[in-house]
Amino acid sequence: MTPNKPLASIYVRVSTEDQVKHGISLSAQEEALQNYAKALGYEVYRIYKDEGKSGKDIKGRPELQQLLEDAKNKKFQALFIYKLDRLSRSLKDLIETIEKFKEWNVDFVSLQDKIETTSASGKLMFHIISSFAEFERNVTSERTKFAMAKKAKDGDVITRAPLGYKIESKLLIPGEHSYVVNEIYNEFLHNNISLTQLAKKYALSVNGLKKVLSNYTYLGKVKFDGQIIPGKHQPLISSTLFNQVQEKLKSVLRGR
Q: Per-residue pLDDT tens, the chain, 256 aa: give them.
A: 666 789 999 999 877 555 444 456 778 889 999 999 999 899 999 999 988 766 566 677 889 999 999 999 999 999 999 888 788 777 777 778 888 888 899 988 888 877 776 666 666 666 676 666 566 667 666 676 666 666 655 555 556 788 999 988 878 889 988 999 999 999 999 998 999 999 999 999 999 999 999 999 999 888 776 778 888 889 999 999 999 999 999 999 887 6
Superfamily of domain 156-255: Putative Large Serine Recombinase; Chain B, Domain 2 (3.90.1750.20)
Delimiting residues of CATH 3.40.50.1390 domain(s) in the chain:
7-138
Q: Which of 9, 15, 88, 110 is catalytic?
A: 15
Identify the H or E element spanning 80.
Answer: strand 78-81
Report the side by side order of strands in the sheet with 115-116: 43-51, 7-14, 78-81, 107-110, 115-116
15 catalytic per annotation: yes
Burial string for 125-156 (b: 16+ CB within 10 Å, else e) reads: bbeebeeebeeeeeeeeeeeeeeeeeebeebb
- Please give the biggest Cα pair distance in the chain: 82
How far apart CA 37 and CA 9 sit, in angstroms, is: 9
Delimiting residues of CATH 3.90.1750.20 domain(s) in the chain:
156-255
- The CATH architecture of the domain made up of 7-138 is 3-Layer(aba) Sandwich (3.40)
- Contacts with 166 (C-beta within 8 Å, 6 or more apart), sequence order: 172, 173, 174, 175, 176
At residue 227, the 3 state secondary structure works out as strand
DSSP class of 204? -
Counting every residue written for the chain, the total comes to 256
Each residue of 117-128: pLDDT tens digit? 666 666 666 667
